[in-house]
């Protein structure tokens, strides 16, 4: 059971004073007040400790997302890399971030050490994830977490879209086996749409990034999927993934078997 935190009026005033000082500190002018920055500042104001340490102590029994179990289950502790940023999460929730170039920058070595410490407390290992850069130029830490969740990294260590993003692998569908990976030019097309002003969430759901052709003989079987559809794929049994997609108002399910070489 998580511990209960009691806040006194003295602590509240102390935290308010600390936050006011941070907001008006020399060199702070013009810098964004982000969600991550506020979490760190409030925890420093109330407890004199970074958010990651406070969270691990007070809220260790609260889970941000429902985690899968099994061989391919996601680790409770993740280091999510996006561009030049790295975010540490526990059970799908923010703990702290590297915040390069800010007044709260944390060396990657220190962030990794904190991740290892939390993982040791949780009895698990740390997984590192390199996320595709789909957010455009304007994004917040919350967008990184949302992207990781939409891609399936809070449910699986290696979600289906991750398998398709790496070294080409053998995929079997309808009795046809062939080597597959995401379409080679999909990132350029996505960036073009996002740069033109379309919200990244819309592009994530709409833009086709995998278009396999499992045609056999005179039977045509061309399929098309977006990041959103691939990110929601479920591993219904070891190495068999079910992708659900909607076409012309109807819902279709496709089961793909993958041959993963270790």
pLDDT confidence band for 28 (50 / 70 / 90): low
Q: Is the pLDDT of residue 2 over 60?
A: no
Q: Is the pLDDT of residue 1 over 50?
A: no
How much is the pLDDT for 47? 75
DSSP 33-79: --HHHHHHHHHHHHHSS-HHHHHHHHSTT--SSPPP-STTBPPSEEE
Q: The tokens 């089961």 sit on which residue?
A: 255
How much is the pLDDT for 236? 95
How much is the pLDDT for 85? 94
Q: Mean pLDDT, to the nearest integer, of 176-181?
A: 94
The b-or-e profile of 74-113 (16+ CB within 10 A means b, else e) is: bbbbbbbbbeebbbbbbbbebbbbbbeeeebebeeeebbe
How much is the pLDDT for 181? 94
Cα separation, 225 vs 171, whole angstroms: 15
Q: Mean pLDDT, to the nearest integer, of 162-170?
A: 91
Q: Is the pLDDT of residue 201 over 80?
A: yes
Q: Mean pLDDT, to the nearest integer, of 86-98?
A: 92
Q: Mean pLDDT, to the nearest integer, of 237-244?
A: 96
Cα separation, 36 vs 141, whole angstroms: 7
Tell me the C-alpha to C-alpha distance, in Å, between residue 207 and each of 5, 160, 190, 226.
Answer: 45, 17, 7, 5
Q: Is the pLDDT of residue 40 over 70?
A: yes
pLDDT above 70: percentage of residues in the chain: 85
Q: Which residues contact 168 (CB under 8 A, 6 or more apart)?
A: 179, 180, 181
How much is the pLDDT for 177? 94
Cα separation, 125 vs 76, whole angstroms: 8
Q: Is the pLDDT of residue 61 over 60?
A: no
pLDDT above 90: percentage of residues in the chain: 53
User: Which domains does the chain possess?
Assistant: 9-151 (no CATH), 160-259 (2.30.29.190)
> 259 is written with which tokens?
């041959």
pLDDT confidence band for 200 (50 / 70 / 90): very high
pTM of the predicted model, to two decimals?
Answer: 0.77
Q: Is the pLDDT of residue 59 over 60?
A: no
Q: Is the pLDDT of residue 90 over 50?
A: yes
- Any bridge partners for residue 30, and if so which? none
> 152 is written with which tokens?
């399936």
């Amino acid at each position: 059971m998580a511990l209960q935190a009691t806040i006194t009026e003295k602590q509240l005033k102390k935290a308010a004073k600390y936050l006011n000082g941070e907001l008006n500190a020399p060199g702070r002018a013009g810098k964004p007040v982000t969600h991550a920055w506020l979490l760190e500042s409030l925890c420093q104001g109330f407890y004199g400790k970074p958010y990651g340490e406070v969270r691990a102590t007070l809220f260790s029994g609260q889970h941000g997302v429902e985690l899968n179990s099994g061989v391919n289950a996601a680790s409770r502790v993740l280091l999510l890399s996006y561009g030049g940023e790295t975010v540490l999460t526990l059970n799908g929730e923010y703990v702290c971030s590297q915040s390069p170039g800010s007044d709260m920058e944390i060396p990657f070595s220190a962030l990794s050490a904190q991740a290892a410490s939390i993982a040791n407390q949780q009895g698990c290992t740390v997984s590192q994830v390199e996320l595709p850069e789909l957010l455009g130029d304007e994004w917040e830490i919350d967008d990184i977490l949302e992207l990781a969740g939409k891609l399936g990294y809070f449910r699986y260590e290696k979600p289906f879209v991750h398998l398709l993003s790496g070294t080409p692998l053998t995929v079997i569908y309808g009795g046809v086996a062939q080597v597959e990976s995401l379409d080679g030019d999909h990132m350029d097309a996505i960036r073009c749409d996002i740069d033109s002003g379309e919200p990244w969430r819309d592009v994530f759901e709409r833009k086709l990034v995998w278009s396999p052709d499992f045609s056999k003989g005179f039977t045509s079987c061309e399929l098309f999927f977006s990041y959103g559809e691939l990110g929601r794929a479920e591993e219904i049994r070891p190495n068999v993934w079910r992708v659900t997609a909607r076409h012309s108002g109807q819902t279709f399910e496709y089961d793909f078997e993958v041959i993963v070489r270790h």
